[in-house]
Chains A and B, each alone.
Chain A
Amino acid sequence: MKKVSLGIYIILFLTLIALVAGSSFKFPPHRPPKSALKLPGGFQVRVIADGLGAARHLAVAGNGLIYVKLAKLKNGKGIIVLRDLNGDGTAENVSGFGNYIGTGIYVKDGWLYASSNTDVYRYRLNENGEVIDTAHAEKIVTGLLDRHEHNSKSIVLDNNGFLYVNVGAYSNACQLQDRAQGSVGMNPCPILDSAAGIWQFRVDKAGQTYSDGVHYATGLRNVVGLDWNTDMDQLFVMQHGRDQLFQLDPNLYDAKQSAELPAETMYALHEGDNAGWPYVYYDPFQKKKIVSPEYGGDGKKTGGENAVDPVAAYPAHMAPDGLVFYTGTMFPERYRHGAFIAFHGSWNRAPEKQKGYFVVFQPFKNGKPDGNWEVFADNFAGSDNISSPGQALHRPCGLAQGPDGALYVSDDAKGTIYKITYDAR
């Protein structure tokens, strides 16, 4: 009898713990390990949190509160809040809310915006940058396409009350049969009506669908990194170029060419722009838009006369997942107004060695890329000999600038959050 009642007490106690944990989970305090990142002289890096899992994009509120969007729920939560209470550079206070997975997150003018793979939500922030009501989000955009491939919805806001959302193509090259050797390109490509582009919505209107938005730009295969450039008052995006030229067209391309083509590209967009996917790809060696083999191309024939050219090109398949323009003053003068780009790291260069897994700095002058890009933060992977992306210890994905001018980087392999600061002393 005594044994039975003790058992019941234990069960009740465990249930209570489970309920408390479920309603507002907290991670136990823990000091993350030192980072092995390599940075230019004068820069320091701190790991402010780790073990968050698939940490995609991140945003920093005015008071230094950090919001991280997860592509896989952690303790049932899809948005993680990190707070460094004592200013030692490590988050002592970690909590979460939101029961949906996704990639996009952005803070602007007293609101937190976050995306699932189909919708965009927003939450009111108080004067301390905290979400006032985590249980009730306002759904401002709904019904965006999610057909597995390229389904993340990255978001950014301009200064005029508009939100920009990427809808990636649910395809590699718009073939009749996606990624199948010998399958022709569909002409016209039917994907372009509702994906492979950027859509613009109002930030303050609930329940907007495709028909309420503006089809802002098209012909963009998949954009994950994007940011608003305040110098130019213009949207900049990073496109992931197409895969598998050799596997799909072994008569035209060899494995080596397939690893180096096409470029990953940066575009400075205006409303109505078309970047040419799937009909053309950008060849960084010929510096031309080349007709895709699925549309009659031979590796040399140029096309896309009505499509815009990229403003910068980067090595193939490195997967630019994060873009942020540096507007702070903490970093030296030469970094100001330039762009940081997080290259998640390639898979489509196999059997060649993989590439990327670093954060790049792209100098800018008068709102245009100026000069060669350079590796800024390296060694996320823990080795420069990665043959398969699963071997990388960390993969940089999201970038954000803090109110003090520090640069934050998220890693979606292990869920590590880095804070990069500058101090010349």
Chain B
Amino acid sequence: MMPDNPIKKFKRKATVLLMMLGAGMVCLKTGPTLAAASYSGPGPGSALRGQKIYEQTCLTCHQADAGGVPGMTPPLQKSPYVQGPAVKLISIVLNGLNDGVEIEGETYTNPMPPFNTVLKDQEIADVLTYLRSHFGNKAAPITVTQVTKIRQGIKK
């Protein structure tokens, strides 16, 4: 291989830098707009409120990085449960779970208590909306209507 021409090398570096700068500016400019657009249902504050609920209620077990506890508490990063069907996800928060969950060949043994008496519908929608847009998860927000519907379904 021929060594790179230093001028070419500099040009390439400069181009990459400029592109990064440009992308950063676009992000800065469109960031909040994009975020607002993706939370059009539950409102832009949902994920922000959800973060507080995560820190107060979920963090001790699921941990600050949502990495869970190996063998005990399932991780919520890039999670098939968090990004999966809303009905199942909401039901887990309302009813708890003690099935020895298995994710990618790892089994998690600690039970999750029901949060139906601890969290209000809006709070459940908020915390799930937060999780579905953080920790490597990408899924549609959860609305308070969805949670209420499932809670009423349970009552019947």
Contacts and interface: CB of A to CB of B under 8 A. Distances in A.
B65 A388 contact: yes
B113 to A, nearest CB: 4
A148 B100 contact: yes
B64 A390 contact: no
Nearest to B99: A148
A350 B67 CA distance: 12
B67 A180 contact: no
A149 B111 CA distance: 7
B75 to A, nearest CB: 7
A390 B100 CA distance: 18
A350 B73 contact: no
Nearest to B100: A148
A244 B112 CA distance: 13
B64 A389 contact: no
A289 B71 CA distance: 30
A266 to B, nearest CB: 22
B153 interface: no
Contacts of B114: 177, 180
A28 to B, nearest CB: 22
Nearest to A180: B113
A339 interface: no
A171 to B, nearest CB: 9
A350 B117 contact: no
7 contacts: A179-B112, A347-B63, A347-B72, A350-B59, A351-B60, A388-B63, A390-B67
Q: Chain B interface: which size bin? A: 20 to 34
Interface string A216-252: 0000000000000000000000000000100100000
Contacts of B71: 54, 71, 412
Interface in B97-138: 98-100, 105-107, 109-114, 117-118
B44 interface: no
Contacts of A150: 109
Interface string A140-171: 00000001111100000000000000000000
B69 interface: yes
Contacts of A390: 63, 65, 67-70, 75
Interface residues of A, number: 29
A72 B106 contact: yes
Nearest to A151: B109
Interface of B: 55, 59-61, 63-65, 67-73, 75, 96, 98-100, 105-107, 109-114, 117-118
A415 to B, nearest CB: 12
A387 interface: yes
A404 B44 CA distance: 65
Given A178-B111, A178-B113, 18 more contacts: A72-B107, A148-B100, A177-B113, A177-B114, A179-B112, A179-B113, A247-B60, A347-B61, A347-B63, A347-B69, A347-B72, A350-B59, A351-B59, A388-B63, A390-B67, A390-B68, A412-B71, A413-B70
A336 B113 CA distance: 45
A33 to B, nearest CB: 21
Contacts of B98: 147-149, 178
Given A182-B117, A350-B59, A388 B67 contact: yes
Contacts of A244: 60
Nearest to A248: B113
Nearest to B117: A182
A357 to B, nearest CB: 12
A391 interface: yes
B60 A350 contact: yes
Interface string A379-399: 000000001111100010000
A389 B70 contact: yes
B29 to A, nearest CB: 33
Nearest to B66: A388
Nearest to B106: A72
A348 interface: yes
